[in-house]
Amino acid sequence: MGARYPVLVISVPNLKEISTKEKFLWLNAKSWILAIFIPFILFPWLGLIYALLLYGVFLGLFSILEFFDEDIADILVARSKIKTPSAHFYA
């Protein structure tokens, strides 16, 4: 017969998942900043009505995109910081 080894089981409740981001009204902070910042910058050229309409479009777009990928705003910000003309990246 083989040797018996004691089994120790520890159960800890998962209070918060590490990879989830804090959300406020279904969007994370970077999505809110992008949704507000871009229409605010374009406000002098668009006017109030079109800037508010663009704000609503961004809120809808980010909420749909974050439904599928929670990090979409981080991806867009990181992609805008890349200074190379190449569209292909290798790791």
Please state, in angstroms and rounded to a whole number, the distance separating the CA atoms of residues 41 and 54: 11
Q: Can you read off the two tokens belonging to residue 46?
A: 């668009």
How many domains, the chain?
A: 1
| Domain presence at residue 34 | yes
| Domain presence at residue 21 | no
Cβ proximity of 54 and 39 under 8 Å:
yes
| Domain presence at residue 9 | no
| Domain presence at residue 60 | yes
pTM score of the predicted model: 0.55
Amino acid identity of 16?
A: K
The pLDDT value given to residue 34: 82
DSSP 8-state secondary structure symbol assigned to residue 5 = -
Per the structure, the complete domain to which residue 72 belongs is given by: 26-82
Alpha-carbon distances of 53 from 30, 41, 65, 72, rounded to whole Å: 19, 14, 18, 21
| Domain presence at residue 58 | yes
The pLDDT value given to residue 53: 93
| Domain presence at residue 53 | yes
Per-residue pLDDT of the chain (91 residues; tens, 9 = 90+): 556 777 777 776 766 665 566 666 777 777 888 888 888 898 888 888 999 999 999 888 888 877 776 677 677 777 777 776 766 766 6
